[in-house]
């Protein structure tokens, strides 16, 4: 320290402060966002094939009993014009091989996600395995159309019944 000039010593102290601030920022970021949690664990892949995946995107969540257990990694159209989704599931989560995967939404206008309904089998879906049972997304517009048509049918049958009584 005796060999440094005042200017070099000042630059050395500033460099240490900048280095300390960078390390502190990385530490806060890691603790706040838990970025490296489970980085040593690898996810495994499961495939699910659906006729319709309306509103579901790559990156959307996969849930089991309401708990996030993975995400949608990829979606492709197969030779039968069905959507095959690649799901990444956290290592350590074992899904029975008779489980089903459904596309559901979080509320009326909420985001879509995959909900896994576990089966009762003692065997589990292996890495690169697939779901035997899937349920497609329910399209809100189609549901509203069905309700309206049922209402119209009831109204017309009620009108017909009333005219017959008169």
pLDDT in tens, the chain (166 residues): 567 788 888 998 999 999 999 999 888 877 766 555 555 557 899 999 999 888 788 888 999 988 989 999 999 998 889 999 999 999 888 999 999 999 888 776 778 899 999 988 899 999 999 988 888 877 767 777 888 888 888 887 777 777 776 6
Residue 157: per-residue pLDDT: 77
Residue 37: per-residue pLDDT: 54
Closest CA to 86 of 104, 70, 74, 77: 74
Residue 96: per-residue pLDDT: 92
Q: Are 99 and 108 spatial neighbours (Cβ–Cβ below 8 Å)? A: no
Closest CA to 115 of 30, 28, 56, 29: 56
Residue 14: per-residue pLDDT: 93
- Residue ranges of domains in the chain: 1-37, 44-144
Residue 106: per-residue pLDDT: 79
């Amino acid at each position: 320290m005796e060999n440094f000039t005042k200017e070099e010593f000042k630059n050395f102290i500033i460099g240490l402060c900048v280095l300390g601030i960078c390390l502190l920022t990385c530490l806060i970021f890691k603790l706040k966002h838990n970025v490296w949690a489970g980085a040593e664990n690898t996810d495994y892949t499961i495939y699910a094939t659906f006729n319709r995946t309306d509103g579901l995107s790559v990156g959307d969540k996969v849930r089991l009993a309401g708990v996030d257990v993975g995400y949608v990694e990829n979606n492709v159209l197969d030779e039968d014009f069905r959507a095959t989704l690649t799901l990444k599931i956290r290592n350590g989560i074992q899904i029975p091989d008779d489980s089903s995967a459904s596309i559901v939404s979080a509320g009326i206008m909420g985001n879509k996600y995959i909900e896994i309904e576990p089966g009762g089998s003692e065997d589990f879906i292996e890495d690169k395995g697939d779901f035997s049972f899937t349920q497609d997304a329910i399209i809100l517009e189609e549901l509203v159309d069905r309700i309206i048509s049922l209402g119209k049918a009831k109204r017309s049958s009620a009108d017909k019944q009333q005219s017959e009584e008169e």
